[in-house]
Amino acid sequence: MEIHLEVDDADALRKLKRLGLFFSDLRSFWPLVIPLFIGWMRQQFETEGAYGGEAWAPLSSGYGLWKSVHYPGKPILQLEGELRQAASRPERRVTPRTLTLTIRDPKIGYHQKGTGTMPARPLVFDRLPAAAQRDLQLAGEQYVRSLLSRL
C-alpha cells in the first residue's frame, strides 16, 4: 500500500518542516525522561528489584546476620545509601538524538552482574517494565502535544 501526501499550503509546509526539526533534536524531550528514570530506580530499590521484573536474591545468612547487627533495618543494596543516591542523581550526557544516564558508583557493576560469591541483583533492567513503558509513552505523547501546540 502506498500513500502519497502533497501539501500546497506554504504555512502548513513550514509547520511540517519545523515539526521535523523538533523530532530530529530531542534535547527538549530529555528533561521529561530523566525524572522517569529516577522514579524507576526508586521503584527498583523500594521493591528490591521486583519492579524491573527480577526480585533480588536474599542476602546470604552470614552477611544478612552481620548486616542486621551493624546496619539494622537497611534493605538490600542500601548499606550506607550511596548506590541509591547515585541512582537518584545519574550523570547525564545529552545529544540531539541520545540521552545517556550513568549511575556513578563503583559497586553497581558487581551488583548488576554478580560475582563468584554473590548473586546478581540488577538495579538497571535490560528491558523496560510495562509500567515504565507506559510512563515513557505518556511522556512522549505530552511532548508531541506540546510541540503541536507551539506550531
**Cβ contacts of 94 within 8 Å, gap of 6 or more:** 27, 30, 100
Q: Is residue 105 part of a domain?
A: yes
Over 90: is that where the pLDDT of 44 sits?
Answer: yes
pLDDT in tens, 7-39: 567 766 677 777 666 677 899 999 999 999 999
pLDDT at position 106, please?
93
* Count of the separate structural domains present in the chain: 1
pLDDT at position 147, please?
82
**Residue ranges making up the domain that contains 39:** 11-56+82-150
pLDDT in tens, 80-108: 999 999 999 999 999 999 999 999 999 99
The dihedral over CA atoms of 27, 28, 31, 33, expressed in degrees to the nearest 10, equals -80
pTM of the model: 0.84
pLDDT at position 59, please?
96
pLDDT at position 8, please?
64
- Quick one: pLDDT band at residue 2, thresholds 50, 70, 90? low
Q: Which residues pair with 102 in a beta bridge?
A: 91
Q: Is residue 42 part of a domain?
A: yes
Q: How far apart are CA 150 and CA 28, in angstroms?
A: 13
Q: Is residue 132 part of a domain?
A: yes
Q: Of 82, 86, 97, 85, which Cα lies nearest the Cα of 33?
A: 97
- Quick one: pLDDT band at residue 148, thresholds 50, 70, 90? confident
Judging by beta carbons within 10 Å of its beta carbon (0-12, 13-18, 19+), is residue 56 exposed, middle or buried?
A: buried
The percent of residues above 90 in pLDDT, for the chain, comes to 75
Name the average pLDDT for the chain: 90
CA distances in angstroms from 106 to 83, 87, 143, listed in the order given: 9, 12, 34
Q: Is residue 77 part of a domain?
A: no
Q: Is residue 64 part of a domain?
A: no
Over 90: is that where the pLDDT of 62 sits?
Answer: yes
pLDDT at position 24, please?
79
